[in-house]
Structure 1
Amino acid sequence: MNNNALWNVTLSSGQHAVIFYALAVAGLALAAFAVRQLTTMHEISVRYRPAAIAGTCVAVVAFLSYIVLVLKFDAGYTQTVDRWTAASNAFLSWAPRYFDWTVTVPLLVVELIAVSSIVGAQAAKYRAIGISLAAGMIITGFIGGVAIDEGTNLAALWIWGAISGLCMVGLYVMFVFMLLHARRDLARSSALQPFQFAITLLIVIWFAYPAVFAFQGFDVTAGTYTTAQVLLSVADIIAKIGFGALIHKVAKLRTAEDVAAGIDTGHDGPVWINGQRATGPQNGRRS
């Protein structure tokens, strides 16, 4: 077996248990967040509801992918005394992450744009560019990291990894422009701070993914693979649940401000955030 492939390692019982634990916890956390998103969608006005819908889709798709990861991880390693040896299909304990990201990363961009201050044709333009860059980032990573020689071709890893990195840089540039727009258009809005935090969180946590991808460029050990699986599970929780919770808060704050301003939002009733009423003295939909 080629030592450049993360999954072609022999795991100790402890390492196998840690990976299984990380995958299961991440999947369950995503399931819980999906339920939370579904049951609180009514708190957000129609104007910002696409963000909640996209966030729910992110959680559901990621949860399903973690079910596949757990099953394939369990089937991909054979126990021998106190060790777990990789089988020929062990790469399937890793590849489903790319299936998940191909769908969920573009949806994360959709979430962000839906609560931003960018609207109309400009929002459509940003959405098209963002989805294209996000999909390109993941697909090119999959080609180099899994599809070509099951991730063991170093030249493919670095070439396709570089292309994926360029897509990532393009997304970061777009995020900066969105942040500048928000600081101008939402300067007096209480939604500005969590919006800025959401962008910062995404920018920072996304660095975990190319860092793990780069592990394949070197001889890897069981410890490397264990660290990579745990790190990506934690990163997925933060990028999908933490980011989604922030976007949900931004949507609620902007809904509350629209209601208080007398804008017909399609939202009935007051808005509550952290147990406090956020709509001001008037409740319900106003026109």
Structure 2
Amino acid sequence: MAISEFVRRAGNEALEINPTTATIDITTAASDFLWMVFSVMAATTIGVGIWAQFGVKHGQRTFHHLSMMITGTASVAYFCMASDLGSVAIPVEFIRGHYDANPVTRSIWYARYIDWTITTPLLLLELLLVTGLPLSDIIITIFADLVMIITGLIGSLVRSDYKWGLYSFGCAAMLYVFYMLYFPGRQASHSLGNELSKTYLIGASILSFIWFLYPIAWGLADGGNVISPTGEMVFYGVLDLVAKPVFAIVHLYSMRKINYTQLQLTSGKYSEYSNDLKGDVPTTGGANGKTELTGNTTGAAHPVSVGKPTDAPHGATSPAGADSTVHGH
């Protein structure tokens, strides 16, 4: 095989295999950039997975798994966009320049909005789990985030100036998210100590600054048709790189010394005692209210109740006697 043929086959043929469909669409240079972003997202997913598997104890991988879900989802979205997939041609409201086509259309990348619908709630969850906020506050914050993303998607698919009404709804939802981050969220994080409060504030600052720039990108690209689709990809791509891989690494690094017990996020329950199944297993209900251990010869965990005799009414008798114990079989 000639070297020139090898180089040609190694090049980016995405737009040849999946041709563009809109009047205003991406170029091969934009596709090249999107492949780079895909590579970073995928590498981060794999790297965090290795970090979690070999560097973090079982039951303490909540934030690592959240980061993997975020960058893994983004990897799929950027694979689609780099391949010129996941878009639809929509007539533009503002036509800038001269085109022979009628109507003039621009590619709107719904793959990006699907990505955000999954990843932005996970980003908020990863951040807000550090605060100790009530579950109801976390739920309403994630709901506002979904309103922000979905109104942005619908607005981008609208040709008329009604899209700016949806844009306004999305901006209002974003401001509510910022309020929750900087007021209830920050206040709640202080109750967990200086270290957690500092970790939370760093993460909230990075996320809110980057998210503030997304509506600007939307106004210049999906809304106003001011910048080209190539410029759009670079703008959104840089924001996504900071909001996902960079945020993930900074947040996970700052969380490395955090006590998971303080956050009450350690998972396990039955699996926590897997090493004790052939020996002693933990039980509750001891005479002093503390956990006690009893032998179990079969490897099955059975609860053991050991305590003081239950006070019974005068004249009543206990079927099992004054002091009854349930033993493992």
TM-score under structure 2 length normalisation: 0.62
185, 206, 212: which is aligned to 1:207? 212
Change (3 A) 1:221 1:228: closer
- Residues 78-97 of structure 1 aligned to structure 2 (within 5 Å): 91=107, 94-97=109-112
166, 179, 192: which is aligned to 2:186? 179
Structure 2 alignment gaps of length 5 or more: 1-21, 90-99, 273-329
Q: Is the 8 A contact 2:206 2:247 kept in 1?
A: yes
| SS of alignment partner, residue 256 of structure 2 | helix
Using the TM superposition, give the Cα deviation of residue 175 of structure 1 relative to its aligned residue in structure 2, in angstroms: 0.5
| SS of alignment partner, residue 130 of structure 1 | helix
- Residues 62-101 of structure 1 aligned to structure 2 (within 5 Å): 62-72=74-84, 91=107, 94-101=109-116
The percent of aligned pairs where both chains have the same amino acid is: 20
Equivalents in 2 of 1:178, 1:206: separation in Å? 17
105, 112, 121: which is aligned to 1:106? 121
Using the TM superposition, give the Cα deviation of residue 109 of structure 1 relative to its aligned residue in structure 2, in angstroms: 0.7
The question of 1:32 aligning with 2:30 is answered no
The question of 1:154 aligning with 2:161 is answered yes
Say what the alpha-carbon RMSD is for the aligned residues: 3.3
Match of 1:254 in 2: 258
Please say which of residues 42-51 and 210-219 is displaced more in the overlay.
42-51
Q: Is the 8 A contact 2:60 2:265 kept in 1?
A: no
Using the TM superposition, give the Cα deviation of residue 54 of structure 1 relative to its aligned residue in structure 2, in angstroms: 1.5
Using the TM superposition, give the Cα deviation of residue 76 of structure 1 relative to its aligned residue in structure 2, in angstroms: 8.7
| SS of alignment partner, residue 117 of structure 1 | coil
Amino acid paired to 2:115: D
Equivalents in 2 of 1:244, 1:58: separation in Å? 9
Larger radius of gyration: 2
Equivalents in 2 of 1:237, 1:245: separation in Å? 11
Using the TM superposition, give the Cα deviation of residue 38 of structure 1 relative to its aligned residue in structure 2, in angstroms: 1.0
Q: Is the 8 A contact 1:208 1:232 kept in 2?
A: no
| SS of alignment partner, residue 185 of structure 1 | coil
Change (3 A) 1:175 1:91: same
Q: Is the 8 A contact 1:136 1:164 kept in 2?
A: yes
135, 138, 143: which is aligned to 1:132? 143
Equivalents in 2 of 1:135, 1:264: separation in Å? 24
TM-score under structure 1 length normalisation: 0.70
Equivalents in 2 of 1:118, 1:48: separation in Å? 16
Match of 2:316 in 1: none
How many residues were matched structurally? 233
Structure 1 alignment gaps of length 5 or more: 1-6, 78-84, 269-287
Match of 1:52 in 2: 64
Match of 1:170 in 2: 176
The one of the two structures with greater contact order (alpha-carbon pairs below 8 A, sep at least 6) is 1
Using the TM superposition, give the Cα deviation of residue 167 of structure 1 relative to its aligned residue in structure 2, in angstroms: 1.0
Equivalents in 1 of 2:75, 2:250: separation in Å? 19
